[in-house]
Chains A and B, each alone.
Chain A
Amino acid sequence: MASAAKAEQLDFAKTPINSKLSAQQKVRLLTEMVRIRRFETESLRQYQAKKMGGFLHLYNGQESVAVGCVSLMGDDDHVITAYRDHGHALAVGMTMNECMAELFGKVTGCSKGKGGSMHFFAPDKNYWGGHGIVAGQTPLGLGLAYALKYKGVKGAAMCFMGDGAVNQGCFYESLNMAALFDIPVIYIIENNGYSMGTSLARSSSFKSCLAERAEGFNIAWGQCNGTDIYEVRANVQTAIERAHNESKPTVLEIATYRYYGHSVADAKHTGGYRQKEEIEHYKQNHDPIQVFKRRLIEEGTLTEEKYEQLDEAAKAEAAAAAQFADESPIPSEESITQDVYFEVDRQTEAGRTGKHFFND
Chain B
Amino acid sequence: MPLIEYRDALNQAFAEEMERDPNVVLMGEEVAEYDGAYKVTRGLWQRFGSKRVMDTPISEAGFIGMGIGASMLGIRPVMELMFWSFAAVAWDQIINNAAQVRYMSGGLINCPIVIRGPANGGTNVGATHSHNHENFLANIPGLKVVCPATAYDAKGLMKSAIRDNDPVMFMENTLLYGEKGEVPEEEYLIPLGRADVKREGTDISLIAHGRAALTALKAAELLAAEHNINAEVVDLRSIRPLDEEAILESVRKTHRAVYIEENKPFCGVGAQIASMLQEKAFDDLDAPVLRISSMDAPAIYSPELEKKQLPRPLDIVEKVLSIC
Contacts and interface: CB of A to CB of B under 8 A. Distances in A.
Given A129-B101, A133-B92, A170-B61, A139 B106 contact: no
Given A111-B105, A177-B63, A144 B193 contact: no
Contacts of B29: none
Q: Which of B25, B93, B108, B144 has the most CB of A within 10 A?
A: B108
Interface in B204-251: 238, 240-244
B68 to A, nearest CB: 6
Interface stretch (B40-48, B69-77, B284-292, B303-311): B69-77
B51 interface: yes
B184 interface: no
Nearest to A181: B54
A193 interface: no
B105 A119 contact: yes
Given A174-B65, A342-B166, A354-B193, A128 B72 contact: yes
A131 to B, nearest CB: 8
A161 interface: no
A173 B86 CA distance: 15
Given A136-B96, A355-B193, A358-B272, A147 B104 contact: no
Given A142-B66, A173-B62, A340-B103, A355 B75 contact: no
A354 B243 contact: yes
Given A142-B69, A146-B69, A353-B241, A169 B61 contact: yes
A114 B101 CA distance: 10
B106 A143 contact: no
A278 interface: no
Contact of B62 (A123, A130, A176): A176
Q: Which of A78, A119, A128, A170 has the most CB of B within 10 A?
A: A170
B39 interface: no
Interface residues of B, number: 54
A119 B242 contact: no
B212 to A, nearest CB: 19
Contacts of B61: 139, 169-170, 173
A86 B230 CA distance: 63
Interface in A170-203: 170, 173-174, 176-177, 180-181
B165 interface: yes
B178 interface: no
A112 interface: yes
Q: Which of A123, A132, A342 has the most CB of B within 10 A?
A: A342
A129 B59 CA distance: 23
A230 interface: no
Interface of A: 78, 80, 109-115, 119, 121-124, 128-133, 136, 138-144, 146-148, 150-151, 157, 169-170, 173-174, 176-177, 180-181, 337-343, 345, 348-350, 353-358
Contact of A115 (B66, B105, B160, B193): B105
A318 to B, nearest CB: 22
Contacts of A113: 106
Given A147-B72, A341-B102, 17 more contacts: A114-B103, A139-B68, A140-B65, A144-B69, A146-B69, A173-B57, A176-B62, A338-B107, A339-B105, A342-B107, A342-B110, A342-B166, A343-B164, A343-B165, A349-B191, A350-B192, A356-B240
B238 to A, nearest CB: 6
Contact of A150 (B59, B70, B241): B70
B97 interface: yes
Contact of B93 (A151, A170, A354): A170
17 contacts: A115-B103, A128-B72, A136-B65, A136-B92, A136-B97, A139-B61, A139-B69, A144-B72, A147-B73, A150-B25, A177-B63, A339-B107, A341-B102, A342-B110, A342-B166, A350-B164, A357-B141
B270 interface: no
Contact of B57 (A144, A176, A358): A176
A133 B65 CA distance: 13
B116 interface: no
Nearest to B100: A119
A141 B59 contact: no
Contact of B104 (A115, A354, A355): A115
Contacts of A80: 69
B142 interface: yes
B124 interface: no
B64 interface: yes
Contact of A138 (B65, B71, B102, B141): B65
Given A147-B75, A353-B241, A354-B193, A109 B106 contact: yes
B129 interface: no
B241 A143 contact: no
A170 B106 contact: no
Contacts of A112: 106-107
Contacts of B272: 358
Contacts of B165: 342-343, 348, 350
B241 A356 contact: yes
A353 B103 CA distance: 20
B242 A139 contact: no
Nearest to B275: A358
Nearest to A110: B106
Nearest to A115: B104
B56 interface: yes
B264 interface: no
Contacts of B242: 354-355, 358
Contacts of A136: 65, 92-93, 96-97
B133 interface: no
Contacts of B193: 350, 353-356
Contact of B142 (A111, A132, A177, A340): A340
B155 interface: no
B67 interface: yes
A136 B142 CA distance: 18
A112 B102 CA distance: 12
B65 A170 contact: yes
Interface string B81-104: 000000000001100110001111
B45 to A, nearest CB: 15
A177 B67 CA distance: 12
Interface in B88-140: 92-93, 96-97, 101-110, 112
